[in-house]
Amino acid sequence: MNIFATLQRIGRAFMLPIAVLPMAGILLGVGGAFTSGPLIETYQLTFLQDGTILNRILKLCFNAGLFVFANLPLLFAIGVGIGMANRNKETAALAAVIGFLLYHTVISTVLGFQGLTPDSTSIDALTKAGISPDTAVGLAALYTKELGIFTLQTGVFGGIMCGFLSAYITNRFSEVQLPDYLAFFSGNRLIPVITMIFFIPLGLLMPFIWPPIFKAIVFSGEAFSSMGYIGTFLYGTLMRLLNVFGLHHAIYPLFWYTELGGVMEVGGQVVSGGQKIFFAQLADPETIKFSSEATRTMTGGFLPMMFGLPAAALAMYHCADSKNRSRIKGIFLSAALTSFLTGITEPIEFTFLFVAPVLYGIHAVLEGIAYMLMHILDVAVGITFSRGLIDFTFFGLLQGTEKTSYHWILILGPIYSIIYYFLFKTIILKFNISTPGRNDTDAKLYTRKDFDEKEKSKKPQSKGNKPLIELIVSQLGGIENIKSIDACITRLRVTIHNQSLVTDEASWKAIGAKGIFRSGNAVQIIFGTQAETYKNQIIAKYQIS
Task: Check whether residue 420 and residue 484 sit in a common domain.
Answer: no
Collect all residues with Cβ–Cβ distance below 8 Å to 519 and sequence separation of at least 6: 2, 4, 5, 245
Task: Check whether residue 132 and residue 37 sit in a common domain.
Answer: yes
Question: Does 420 reside within a domain?
Answer: yes
**Residue 164: predicted pLDDT:** 95
Look at residues 372, 400, 430 and tell me which one is the last residue of a structural domain. 430
Question: Does 332 reside within a domain?
Answer: yes
Per-residue pLDDT tens over the stretch 290-343: 999 999 999 999 999 999 999 999 999 999 888 888 888 887 888 888 889 888
Task: Check whether residue 418 and residue 454 sit in a common domain.
Answer: no
Question: Does 132 reside within a domain?
Answer: yes
Give the number of other CB atoms < 10 A from CB of residue 362. Answer: 18
Task: State how far the Cα of 131 lies from the Cα of 116, in Å rounded to an integer.
Answer: 16
Look at residues 430, 464, 492 and tell me which one is the last residue of a structural domain. 430
* Residue environment code for 233-258, b if the CB has 16+ CB neighbours within 10 A, otherwise e: bebbbebbbbbbbbbbbbbbbbbbbb
Look at residues 402, 430, 458 and tell me which one is the last residue of a structural domain. 430
Task: Check whether residue 216 and residue 126 sit in a common domain.
Answer: yes
Task: Check whether residue 234 and residue 315 sit in a common domain.
Answer: no
Instruction: State the Cα torsion 530-252-288-300 to the nearest 10°.
Output: -70
Per-residue pLDDT tens over the stretch 32-87: 778 877 667 766 788 888 889 999 999 999 899 888 888 989 999 999 999 899 88
Task: Check whether residue 329 and residue 240 sit in a common domain.
Answer: no
Task: Check whether residue 217 and residue 167 sit in a common domain.
Answer: yes
CATH code of the domain containing 481: 3.30.1360.60
Collect all residues with Cβ–Cβ distance below 8 Å to 274 and sequence separation of at least 6: 255, 256, 261, 262, 294, 295, 296, 297, 298
- Answer yes or no: 488 catalytic: yes
Helix axis angle for 325-342 and 346-353, nearest 10°, is 130
Per-residue pLDDT tens over the stretch 253-269: 889 988 888 888 888 88
Task: State how far the Cα of 268 lies from the Cα of 109, in Å rounded to an integer.
Answer: 25
Task: Check whether residue 341 and residue 241 sit in a common domain.
Answer: no
Question: Does 264 reside within a domain?
Answer: no
H/E element holding 100?
A: helix 89-113
Question: Does 78 reside within a domain?
Answer: yes
Task: Check whether residue 237 and residue 373 sit in a common domain.
Answer: no
Task: Check whether residue 30 and residue 156 sit in a common domain.
Answer: yes
Which residues, given as ranges, of the chain have pLDDT below 70? 1-5, 8, 38-39, 42-43, 246, 385, 440-465, 489, 545
Residue 129 main-chain phi, psi, to 5 deg: -80, 5
Collect all residues with Cβ–Cβ distance below 8 Å to 267 and sequence separation of at least 6: 280, 283, 284, 286, 287
Question: Does 211 reside within a domain?
Answer: yes
Question: Does 283 reside within a domain?
Answer: no
Map residue 120 onto helix, strand or coil.
coil
Look up the domain containing 310 and give its range. Answer: 299-430
Task: State how far the Cα of 215 lies from the Cα of 121, in Å rounded to an integer.
Answer: 16
Domain count across the chain: 3
Q: Taking the model in full, what pTM does it have?
A: 0.70
Question: Does 336 reside within a domain?
Answer: yes
Task: Check whether residue 106 and residue 71 sit in a common domain.
Answer: yes
Catalytic residue among 61, 162, 319, 488: 488
Task: Check whether residue 55 and residue 104 sit in a common domain.
Answer: yes
H/E element holding 524?
A: strand 522-526
**Residue 435: predicted pLDDT:** 82
